[in-house]
Amino acid sequence: MAEVINPAIVPKVTLPSGEQVPCVGMGTFGSDRVSAEDVSAAVAGAIRSGYRMFDCAACYGNEHEIGQVFKDAFDEGVVERKDLFIMTKVWNDMHRRVEEACDKSIKDLQCDYVDMYFIHWPFPNYHAPGCDVDSRNPDSRPFFAEEYMQVWRQCERLVELGLVRHIGMSNMTIPKLEAVLPQCRIRPAAIEMELHPGFQQPELFAYVQEHGMVPIGYCPIGSPSRPERDRTAEDVADTQMPEIVKIAEAHQVHPAIVCIKWAVQNGQIPIPFSVKPAQYLENLRCAVTDPLTEEEMEMIRRADKNCRLVKGQVFLWPGASDWKDLWDEDGTICGWEEKGTC
């Protein structure tokens, strides 16, 4: 019989509403490499292994298959709908039709409602699945708070309609959050962001927590299977960082497990992805066994390389310099003064 981690013993993180959710979820992005069938099979196995949080997205191209897994789990009595925390996101090409996008995700996921609905990226810039790093949409444009708030108002409406229980933002920066948070009628419950030992984003992480939102970390082990378009020669492999390897040897675990332990103990919700049962089981089990020491946590904190892996080049607009323009690295929003300029 396959091993099961009792969901009741998995530590919880408290949302602004007071609701408690698991400290580890499962991602479902196949990185343009894994089929929808393989991802959904992993979700089925993960539910039976004890996972209760799943991070989905319309653009991943697998919500229909995952939805059949959810329905089967409900019908077979493996789990009740109320016991799963299902998250998904509106894709960039649906910013003007958020309710329509949400309805489709709910139908595809066969889940009646969504627990957390994110704006996937803070601009409407669209790219096709599987595109390469040089792909550009000539209609792309930079972030504008007014446009973003039009999308957010539609998300707030989803809460009012009972289609979603919480709403969140993703791939934001402090300047962008500063521009929109004061305008929110319903504040985001969570911010999804790239977080791993080699890219800890301490300023943004602290800002999110200080403003009462929960950080949810994607790429928690450094996303070794991320698309080619997001790879550069300067990238750091988290599982090869000397500090991570040393701690892994001390705990007799794979370095990836150290990354997830660090994330949980650091206060974020990591959402690792794997289609291998042994891996996704261990990703959950590590949250309830053999914690890292304070000294090891400090060693990892000091090891931060500030190495962003998901750069987002395909979202650049005409006139932008490079991918750093997406992330407001100088503390100002690129393109704020005049569309298409920095």
> Residue 340 pLDDT more than 50?
no
Which one of the listed residues 51, 60, 148, 280 is annotated catalytic?
Answer: 60
Looking at the chain, how many residues does it have?
342
User: What's the pLDDT at 49?
Assistant: 97
For β-strands 12-14 and 20-22, DSSP reports them as antiparallel
Nearest to 287 by CA among 9, 56, 85: 9
Which range is least confidently modeled, 135-144, 170-179, 213-222, 296-305? Answer: 135-144
Measure the CA–CA gap between 297 and 34, rounded to whole angstroms: 32
Question: For residue 44, which amino acid is it?
Answer: A
Nearest to 202 by CA among 297, 60, 304, 131: 304
What is the domain partition of the chain in residue ranges?
20-327
- Please, are residues 254 and 338 in contact by the beta-carbon 8 Å criterion? no
Give the pLDDT band of residue 339 (cuts 50, 70, 90).
very low
> Residue 274 pLDDT more than 60?
yes
60 is catalytic: yes
User: What's the pLDDT at 304?
Assistant: 98
In this structure, what are the phi and psi dihedrals at residue 46, rounded to the nearest 5 degrees?
A: -65, -40
Name the CATH code of domain 20-327 (choices 3.30.470.10, 3.10.20.440, 3.20.20.100, 1.20.1250.20).
Answer: 3.20.20.100
Measure the CA–CA gap between 28 and 228, rounded to whole angstroms: 18
Helix (H) or strand (E) holding 88: strand 85-90
Reported as a single tens digit per residue, the pLDDT across 213-255 is 999 999 999 977 666 666 777 888 999 999 999 999 999 999 9
Nearest to 24 by CA among 52, 47, 3, 2: 52
Nearest to 115 by CA among 211, 217, 25: 25
Average pLDDT, the chain: 93
DSSP assignment of 70-83 equals HHHHHHTTSS-GGG
User: What's the pLDDT at 326?
Assistant: 94
Both structure tokens of 243? 């500090």
> Residue 130 pLDDT more than 80?
no
Give the pLDDT band of residue 170 (cuts 50, 70, 90).
very high
Reported as a single tens digit per residue, the pLDDT across 22-59 is 999 999 998 678 999 999 999 999 999 999 999 999 99
Measure the CA–CA gap between 255 and 68, rounded to whole angstroms: 33
> Residue 342 pLDDT more than 80?
no
Query: With pLDDT > 70 as the criterion, what percentage of the chain qualifies?
Result: 94
Measure the CA–CA gap between 270 and 264, rounded to whole angstroms: 7
Specify the 3-state DSSP secondary structure of 270.
strand
- Please, are residues 256 and 329 in contact by the beta-carbon 8 Å criterion? no
* Cβ contacts of 101 within 8 Å, gap of 6 or more: 58, 90, 91, 94
